Chain A
Amino acid sequence: GAVVSQHPSRVICKSGTSVKIECRSLDFQATTMFWYRQFPKKSLMLMATSNEGSKATYEQGVEKDKFLINHASLTLSTLTVTSAHPEDSSFYICSAKDPQRGQETQYFGPGTRLLVL
């Protein structure tokens, strides 16, 4: 149980375009999802907390107009990288907490590799 999926698994786009990444909880409802970013050989850096039905909470230094987060349902959160630039190339990972399993463990998606040319 507690499976989180992401789509797409990898995407290549041209500079200036926007890219949408989906995060789904497959077998549970997640009121809260989290978006992380990971550079090569580095740790996961929290970008934002996505709350179902309300605005996302962004970490300091993360541009909310650049990284649009929408959590329209209890099983889906989306991250849209707007006007992508090469420096946005990274590994984006989402996670979700299953309320029925307590507020402790986060279940992670498989990640999305973004390459901006």
Chain B
Amino acid sequence: GESVGLHLPTLSVQEGDNSIINCAYSNSASDYFIWYKQESGKGPQFIIDIRSNMDKRQGQRVTVLLNKTVKHLSLQIAATQPGDSAVYFCAENIRQAGTALIFGKGTTLSVSS
């Protein structure tokens, strides 16, 4: 199964399913977006990024979609595995500003086998 639409604080899927995690960003001037994965007790780990001149970018098993019109970002994970269980955060930035990333609310992904 998969979940689309509004941000959900938690998402539970079965192993092998596709997962979709949503994020709404706040600053219309932001032009760079990143998805991070954070496992318990660890720092955020880079997954994939996208610039505002793109609306889709694919990585290995992951795809990020950007809708600037509604300031919405999503992360799609194909064939979700138990090792994907973690908290996922989106982050936004203005590239040339040299400022820090601003993080959105996280989504806890739980994958059951």
Contact = CB atoms under 8 A, between A and B. Distances in A.
Interface residues of B, number: 24
A104 B32 contact: yes
B62 interface: no
B43 A110 contact: yes
Contact of B95 (A44, A103, A108, A111): A103
Given A43-B105, A44-B89, A44-B103, A108 B44 contact: yes
Which applies to chain A's interface (DSSP): helix, strand, loop or mixed?
Answer: strand
A25 interface: no
Contacts of B45: 108
B20 to A, nearest CB: 19
A105 B99 contact: no
Contacts of B101: 34, 46, 95, 106
Contacts of A109: 43
A110 B49 contact: no
20 contacts: A4-B43, A6-B43, A32-B98, A34-B100, A34-B101, A41-B108, A43-B89, A43-B104, A43-B105, A44-B89, A46-B101, A49-B100, A91-B41, A97-B98, A102-B95, A104-B49, A104-B95, A105-B46, A106-B100, A107-B46
Interface of A: 4, 6, 32, 34, 36, 41-46, 49, 91, 93, 95, 97, 102-111, 113
Interface of B: 32, 34, 36, 41-46, 49, 89, 93, 95-96, 98-106, 108
